[in-house]
Chains A and B, each alone.
Chain A
Amino acid sequence: QVQLQESGPGLVKPSETLSLTCTVSGGSITNYDWSWIRQPPGKGLEWIGYFYGGGATKYNPSLRSRVTMSINTSENQLSLRLSSVTAADTAVYYCARLSMGYDDTGFYHFFEDWGQGTLVTVSS
């Protein structure tokens, strides 16, 4: 089990870019696949995108034009950038490790390890 810790500014102004970092410990970031998921206060979960260990990315179409995910292998960190933010982007942002593959019963896919989350508020 790896440990994940999100960090970044808790307050971002409208129209600016939200930047968060997820520091991974207990394993090499390139050995796993990752996601960012967010949760507006009091609401449900929204998947933002994947960063696969091989370097490929896949984003939620609803956010694709504004999202960039990347990794820093020397720091073992995953990063999220979300541009042109509005109040609707106010949420707790989680990074999560994806567990995906095949077992005796077939394909599986789930988010196995999660960070504690970090609240980002978009406000002037």
Chain B
Amino acid sequence: ENVLTQSPGTLSLSPGERATLSCRTSQSVSNRLLTWYQQKPGQAPRVLIYGGSTRATGIPDRFSGGGSGTVFTLTISRLEPDDFAVYYCQQYGNPLTFGGGTKVEIK
């Protein structure tokens, strides 16, 4: 099983700041198979980035994904109040697995 480790566990930032979230995989993953989701309290996850770097429909361009091999990143260029949430990475494999999440909270 490909284990995904997200860091940091919690990121405390202010609106307008840049957020960089990391997702490390225990086995190499094609960047085409790496997806990022956002989840707010009491809500289902929402896809942000798929194929490693493609923004899903309606996702603003302040969100960007990158990386390759075993290290992937989600960057939020300038945090908006609506961006404070938990973010999960996910890889398409057998089995499909998710990271443990990074909570982005208001500092």
Contacts and interface: CB of A to CB of B under 8 A. Distances in A.
Interface of A: 44-47, 58, 60-62, 94, 96, 99, 103, 105-112, 114-117
Given A109-B33, A115-B44, A47 B95 contact: yes
B98 interface: yes
Interface string B22-33: 000000000011
A107 to B, nearest CB: 5
Contacts of A60: 95-96
Given A44-B100, A47-B98, A116 B44 contact: yes
Given A44-B101, A106-B32, A114 B45 contact: yes
Interface in B49-107: 50-51, 54, 56, 88, 90, 92, 94-101
Contact of A110 (B35, B44, B95, B97): B35
Nearest to A105: B51
Contacts of A116: 43-44
Contacts of B97: 47
B47 interface: yes
B45 to A, nearest CB: 6
Bin the interface of chain B by size.
20 to 34
A109 B92 contact: yes
Given A107-B32, A109-B35, A94 B98 contact: no
Interface of B: 32-33, 35, 37, 43-47, 50-51, 54, 56, 88, 90, 92, 94-101
A33 B54 CA distance: 21
Contacts of A58: 94
Contacts of A115: 44
A44 to B, nearest CB: 5
Given A47-B96, A94-B44, A109-B33, 17 more contacts: A44-B88, A44-B99, A44-B101, A45-B90, A47-B95, A47-B98, A58-B94, A60-B96, A61-B94, A94-B45, A107-B33, A107-B51, A109-B50, A110-B90, A114-B44, A115-B44, A116-B43
A103 to B, nearest CB: 8
A108 B51 contact: yes
Contacts of B101: 44
